[in-house]
């Protein structure tokens, strides 16, 4: 039905087979009956969603539908807003992270986040990457050097910065800064990477680089990406959740969402009829 996606869908057919064969994939996050309020605003309504290991899960939906809120609930960053109240359950590797007794510090070492606007620290490229490992007590220069190199290589930016590691990260282009932020996230060896519109501030070439990188990273990480770019969701994700007014309207294998959605509202959204 959505002609613009024909090509992407053809490419993804193979991927679909993989997804089906992985249906036993372990879940990393299991969200059950999640509700969230900012004061009186009911921003997430009865969310049920499973994030699976070594998959890219895309979250799509119009502005204000709760995508960022949901992402920030997965690392409990949303609690930085004082008026926030939640109910329900989010299990991360079988432990309920919304429980009062849950050690949020543990979650922060396991779940990394990349934001819409590249946000390197005003420090050298090296110090940006070494920041997390240093916080975790690593002082040995040789080990830090190794972590910095590996993280930059894994973020596909080593060759571009290896001769300027001690220059300020602000001197890099936006696309390079975003890959530095991804490298900074990898340096703490997370289990899951959350990305909130990570390419919306980037040019098409940098966007492509980050998309390729995401495809490579899923061999070792589980990734949740919020995107307004429908082609991007179709290109890089295994599963897609369509959010509307704080609810999950539909969650399925990406090809299904884009070619044969179950709900009329999903069809309208992915075909550009609203939002």
Ligand X SMILES: Nc1ncnc2c1ncn2[C@@H]1O[C@H](COP(=O)(O)OP(=O)(O)OP(=O)(O)O)[C@@H](O)[C@H]1O
Instruction: Name the site residues for Mg ion (rule: CB under 5 A).
Output: 68
Region binding ligand X by CB under 6 A among candidate stretches 8-16, 36-44, 137-145, 251-259: 36-44
Terminal Cα-to-Cα distance of the chain (whole angstroms): 18
Integer Cα distance of 138 and 163 in angstroms: 23
Residue 41's binding partner among ligand X, Mg ion, none (Cβ under 5 to 8 angstroms by kind) is ligand X
Minimum CB separation from ligand X for residue 269, in Å?
Answer: 13
Minimum CB separation from ligand X for residue 83, in Å?
Answer: 6
Minimum CB separation from Mg ion for residue 69, in Å?
Answer: 8
Kindly identify the residues of this chain, within the stretch 142-181, that bind ligand X according to CB under 6 A: none
- Dihedrals φ, ψ of 83, to 5°? -80, 0
Q: Give the residue with the Cβ less far from ligand X, 114 or 169.
A: 114
How large is the angle between the packed helices 174-186 and 141-154, nearest 10 degrees?
Answer: 130
Are residues 12 and 255 in contact, defined by beta-carbon separation less than 8 angstroms?
A: yes
232 binds ligand X (CB under 6 A): no
The correct pick among 18, 41, 119, 146 for binding ligand X (CB under 6 A) is 41
64 binds ligand X (CB under 6 A): yes
- Dihedrals φ, ψ of 45, to 5°? -120, 110
224 binds ligand X (CB under 6 A): no
Minimum CB separation from ligand X for residue 228, in Å?
Answer: 6
Residue 63's binding partner among ligand X, Mg ion, none (Cβ under 5 to 8 angstroms by kind) is ligand X
The correct pick among 19, 28, 34, 43 for binding ligand X (CB under 6 A) is 43
SS3 readout for 85-97: EEEEEEEECCEEC
Integer Cα distance of 221 and 237 in angstroms: 13
The dihedral over CA atoms of 122, 124, 126, 128, expressed in degrees to the nearest 10, equals 0
Residue whose CB is nearest to Mg ion in the complex, by number? 68
Q: Give the residue with the Cβ less far from ligand X, 38 or 115.
A: 38
Kindly identify the residues of this chain, within the stretch 71-100, that bind ligand X according to CB under 6 A: 81
Integer Cα distance of 159 and 174 in angstroms: 16
Could you tell me whether strands 239-244 and 41-52 are parallel, antiparallel, or unpaired per DSSP bridges? unpaired
Q: Give the residue with the Cβ less far from Mg ion, 68 or 237.
A: 68
Q: Give the residue with the Cβ less far from ligand X, 22 or 245.
A: 245
How many residues sit in the footprint of ligand X (CB under 6 A)? 12
Residue 81's binding partner among Mg ion, ligand X, none (Cβ under 5 to 8 angstroms by kind) is ligand X
CA distances from 88 to 45, 67, 80 (A): 10, 17, 19
Minimum CB separation from ligand X for residue 243, in Å?
Answer: 7
Nearest CA-CA partner of 249 in 68, 102, 46, 77: 46
Residue 64's binding partner among ligand X, Mg ion, none (Cβ under 5 to 8 angstroms by kind) is ligand X
CA distances from 212 to 154, 177, 219 (A): 12, 16, 12
Question: What SS3 class is residue 27?
Answer: strand
Footprint of ligand X (CB under 6 A): 38, 41, 43, 61, 63-69, 81
């Amino acid at each position: 039905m959505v002609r613009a996606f024909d090509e992407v869908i053809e490419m993804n057919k193979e991927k679909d087979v993989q997804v089906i064969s992985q249906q036993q994939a372990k879940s990393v996050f299991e969200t059950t009956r999640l509700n969230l309020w900012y004061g009186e605003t009911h921003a997430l309504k009865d969310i049920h969603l499973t994030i699976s290991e070594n998959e890219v899960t895309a979250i799509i939906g119009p502005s204000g539908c709760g995508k960022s809120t949901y992402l920030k609930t997965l690392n409990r960053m949303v609690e930085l807003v004082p008026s926030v109240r939640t109910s329900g359950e989010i299990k991360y590797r079988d432990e309920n992270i919304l429980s009062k007794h849950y050690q949020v510090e543990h979650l922060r070492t396991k779940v990394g986040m990349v934001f819409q606007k590249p946000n390197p620290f005003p420090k050298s490229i090296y110090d940006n990457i070494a920041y997390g490992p240093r916080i975790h007590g690593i002082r040995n220069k040789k080990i830090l050097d190794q972590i910095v190199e590996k993280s930059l290589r894994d973020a596909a930016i080593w060759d571009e910065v290896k001769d300027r590691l001690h220059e300020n990260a602000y001197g890099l282009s936006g696309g390079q800064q975003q890959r530095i932020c991804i490298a900074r996230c990898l340096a703490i060896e997370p289990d899951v990477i959350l990305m909130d519109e990570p390419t919306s501030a980037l040019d098409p070439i940098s966007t492509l680089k980050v998309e390729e990188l995401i495809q490579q990273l899923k061999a070792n990480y589980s990734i949740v990406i919020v995107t307004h770019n429908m082609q991007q969701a179709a290109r890089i994700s295994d599963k897609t959740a369509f959010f509307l007014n704080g609810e999950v309207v539909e969650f399925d294998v990406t090809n299904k969402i884009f070619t044969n959605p179950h709900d009329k509202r999903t069809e309208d959204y992915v075909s550009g009829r609203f939002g």
